[in-house]
Amino acid sequence: GQQLNQSPQSMFIQEGEDVSMNCTSSSIFNTWLWYKQDPGEGPVLLIALYKAGELTSNGRLTAQFGITRKDSFLNISASIPSDVGIYFCAGRGAGKSTFGDGTTLTVKP
Amino acid sequence: SQTIHQWPATLVQPVGSPLSLECTVEGTSNPNLYWYRQAAGRGLQLLFYSVGIGQISSEVPQNLSASRPQDRQFILSSKKLLLSDSGFYLCAWSVREGRAELFFGEGSRLTVL
């Protein structure tokens, strides 16, 4: 089946720093999505990308759909303590979504 | 606005006991419905999805089953739980056509002892 490689697995940063994480796949996806999960809760959609090369922002978050359609990245600028959580990428193709294993973000005040 | 609820939020069950997790969606009609399982420190594994009442597709062979008795109700069940069934179970919905966004419930944490 389709697999996503999400990296890094975890990040420990200082408040105010920028963050970058990415997902790559051997398969082509039609859609890339980024979710955030707070402890003990369900994931919440942050950004959805529908076109190769698309660059979309949501506040301090910016995500891009790679030109090859096999990768995507998420950047968080000027991190704050409430950014802590697990960030998941998901690629959608053939009517199904495949999730990465997540990037756990810790922000130190 | 649309909402999704699942319950119970936490469940501790002995090995061999039955399971029933429920999920309901409000504020939308004809949603696609999904059950995912999340193991500790891992991503989300799709267990079942449904495109309509009584229509269930299973993604992985396992000890669990799903049913959709009503348009906006999705139930995850087991007749006899195994230790390996422990995990965080998430229900999600999406619109029937076109969009890929999933909207998740609050999750149900199952511990099998």
- Contacting residues of B for A96, CB less than 8 Å apart: 46
Of A107, A80, A106, nearest in space to A9 by CA: A106
Size of interface A-B (CB pairs under 8 A): 48
* Residue B113 identity: L
- Contacting residues of A for B44, CB less than 8 Å apart: 43, 88, 99
Query: How much is the pLDDT for B98?
Result: 64
Q: Calculate the average pLDDT of chain B.
A: 93
Distance separating alpha carbons of residues B47 and B80, to the nearest angstrom:
17
Of A1, A8, A6, A10, nearest in space to A97 by CA: A1
Q: With pLDDT > 70 as the criterion, what percentage of chain B qualifies? A: 99
Chain A CB within 8 Å of residue B96 CB: no
Query: How much is the pLDDT for B106?
Result: 96
Per run of 10 residues, the mean pLDDT along chain A (length 109 residues) is 86 97 94 94 96 96 96 97 96 85 94
3-state secondary structure of B91: strand
Is pLDDT above 90 for B99?
no
pLDDT digits (tens, 9 = 90+) for B60-69: 877 899 999 9
Q: With pLDDT > 90 as the criterion, what percentage of chain B qualifies? A: 82
Contacts of B15 (CB under 8 A, 6+ apart): B80, B81, B82, B83, B112, B113
Q: What is the mean pLDDT of residues B79-86?
A: 95
Contacts of B97 (CB under 8 A, 6+ apart): none
Query: How much is the pLDDT for B32?
Result: 93
- Contacting residues of B for A100, CB less than 8 Å apart: 43
Q: What is the mean pLDDT of residues B36-54?
A: 89
- Contacting residues of B for A44, CB less than 8 Å apart: 104
Query: How much is the pLDDT for B110?
Result: 96
Interface test with B, best of A41, A86, A106 (most B CBs within 10 A): A41
Distance separating alpha carbons of residues A101 and A9, to the nearest angstrom:
8
Handedness of CA B6, B70, A35, B111 (dihedral sign): positive
Of A107, A108, A99, nearest in space to A34 by CA: A99
Chain A CB within 8 Å of residue B26 CB: no
Query: How much is the pLDDT for A2?
Result: 65
**Contact call for B43 and A6, based on CB within 8 A:** yes
Q: Which residue of A has its CA nearest to B10?
A: A40
Query: How much is the pLDDT for B60?
Result: 80
